[in-house]
Amino acid sequence: MNGTASRVFLVGIMRSGTTLLQSLLAAHSQVTSCPETMFFRSLVGENLAWWRGKPPNSFLDKLRCSWSRCRERLGLAHPMARWRINSLLTEVHRLDLQGMFPVKSRSMRRQATAFAEILDRVALDQDKTVWVEKSPEHIAYIELIERYVQPVKFIHIVRNGADVVASLMDVGRQYRKSHWKTYWNTPDKCIDLWNEAIRVTRLHMHKPHHHVVRYEQLVDDTPGVLADVCEFLRIPYEEDMLHGYTSAAEQLVRNKTGWQAKVFKPIDNANGTKFFEIFDEDQQRYIRNRLSPVTEAEFGRRAHATV
pLDDT of res. 82: 94
Residue 1 lies in a domain: no
Residue 305 lies in a domain: no
What is the separation of C-alpha 141 from the centre of its chain, rounded to a whole number of angstroms?
11
Domain CATH number, residue 256: 3.40.50.300
Residue 307 lies in a domain: no
Summarize the confidence of residues 143-148 as an average pLDDT.
Answer: 95
pLDDT of res. 76: 92
Residue 300 lies in a domain: no
Domain that holds residue 283: 6-290
In Å, what is the CA distance from 173 to each residue of 17, 45, 262, 263?
Answer: 19, 29, 17, 20
Which residue type does 129 have? T
Residue 260 lies in a domain: yes
DSSP codes joined into one string, 15-59: TSSHHHHHHHHHTSTTEEEES---HHHHHHT---HHHHT----SH
At residue 30 the predicted structure's pLDDT band, cuts being 50, 70 and 90, is very high
Q: Is the pTM of this model over 0.85?
A: yes
Helical (H) or strand (E) element with 70? helix 59-74
For residue 1, pLDDT over 50 is answered with no
For residue 186, pLDDT over 70 is answered with yes
Residue 232 lies in a domain: yes
Number of domains in the chain: 1
- 153-158, strands of its sheet edge to edge: 31-34, 130-134, 6-11, 153-158, 210-214
Which residue type does 171 have? V
**Residues comprising the chain, all counted:** 307
Residue 37 lies in a domain: yes
Residue 49 lies in a domain: yes
Instruction: Please state whether beta strands 153-158 and 210-214 pair in parallel, antiparallel, or not at all (unpaired).
Output: parallel
- The whole-angstrom separation of Cα 287 and Cα 291 is 6
